[in-house]
Amino acid sequence: MKIGYIFPGQGTQVIGMGKDIYDKYEEARNAYKIIDNELNESIEKLTYEASQDELNKTENTQIAIYAMSMAILEILKSRGINPCVAAGLSLGEYSALTCAGVIDLKEGAKIVRQRGRLMQNLAPEGNWAMAAIIGLEDEKVEEACSKVTNGFVKAVNYNCPGQVVVSGEKDAVLQVMDIAKELGAKRAIELKTSGPFHTEKLKKASEELRKELEKINFKNFDIPVIKNFNGEEYGKEDNMIEILSNHVINPVKFGKSIQTMINMGVDTFVEIGPGKTLSGFVKKVCKADGIDLNVINIENLEGLENALEILK
């Protein structure tokens, strides 16, 4: 079995996520404790007791999802279950880098907390939105964006065959949703996000994030990590600060990331964190390629214990 870990990004968060895992496993509680002590706040309280609106704020969403993913990761590590490669969607790339030993849990928590705050607080004023366009080719989604004459919108997340996320001003995003349906899209769904992510509108946040990244002690890779930027493996010569600071203003090539992992021999994908979004992407890539791989999702106690049984 050749295991690849995949970590989710924003949009999958729900109040109480991972609480059943936290209650049962000491490794999960210890991970939260390390993060809480580093940030001097309770991420459990934010995740389990806040309102959904509060959790949906970018500055809170990112650290809450990161903490949950890391808690599950610690349980898997304690059982001797380790991947041969990791990847993550947007925010999830930081989880993948932590998994690979490139940044430790404490530094990961600090930079994710800062990244969320910068992306929320330094986004330009405006009414922003993101939407998933389903059942339409990449080029058709780009065409839909080009047909919007009043307002800013771009295709930003190329998730899998037949799913692209657009980001921009809300009115423009709504227009793209309508145009995409006219072009043959099966569905268009507005996402639970609050900024023009992965567009040049976050240039200021990118610049400030660069300053925070310069404080991190990046270590060697224990396992390969696949970049969102181009869907390829990080190389020894890659400038981590450059890549991660530009991460927030460039599109995400997650569909290509999955394909790269398959080409590396991964036959078992394990999604670690809230939701089943990435598992769905993997299945669509597999369907398009005519292959059948194992896809395991860990977002609750049942999923974790199922995974522990399969992966042991």
Q: Please tell me the distance from the alpha carbon of residue 102 to that of residue 302, in angstroms, as a whole number.
A: 30
Given a cut of 80, whether residue 195 has pLDDT beyond it is no
Q: What is the tens place of the pLDDT at every residue in 71-128? A: 999 999 999 999 999 999 999 999 999 999 999 999 999 999 999 999 999 988 889 9
**pLDDT for 192:** 75
Element (H, E) at 153: strand 153-160
Q: What's the mean pLDDT in 220-231?
A: 95
Q: Structural domains in the chain?
A: 3-123+200-311 (3.40.366.10), 128-190 (3.30.70.250)
Percent of all residues in the chain with a pLDDT value above 90, rounded to a whole number: 91
Percent of all residues in the chain with a pLDDT value above 70, rounded to a whole number: 100
Q: Which two tokens stand for residue 177?
A: 């949703």
**pLDDT for 194:** 67
**Residue 63 carries which side chain, given as an amino acid letter?**
I
Give the predicted TM-score (pTM) of the model: 0.94
Q: What is the tens place of the pLDDT at every residue in 144-171? A: 999 998 899 999 999 999 999 999 999 9
Q: Please tell me the distance from the alpha carbon of residue 310 to that of residue 211, in angstroms, as a whole number.
A: 42
Q: Please tell me the distance from the alpha carbon of residue 236 to that of residue 239, in angstroms, as a whole number.
A: 9
**pLDDT for 226:** 98
Torsion of CA 243, 245, 251, 252, to 10 degrees: 60
Given a cut of 90, whether residue 185 has pLDDT beyond it is yes
Q: What's the mean pLDDT in 219-230?
A: 95
**pLDDT for 126:** 87
Residues annotated as catalytic (active site), given as ranges:
90, 198
Q: What is the tens place of the pLDDT at every residue in 12-57? A: 899 999 999 999 999 999 999 999 999 999 999 999 999 999 999 9
**pLDDT for 109:** 98
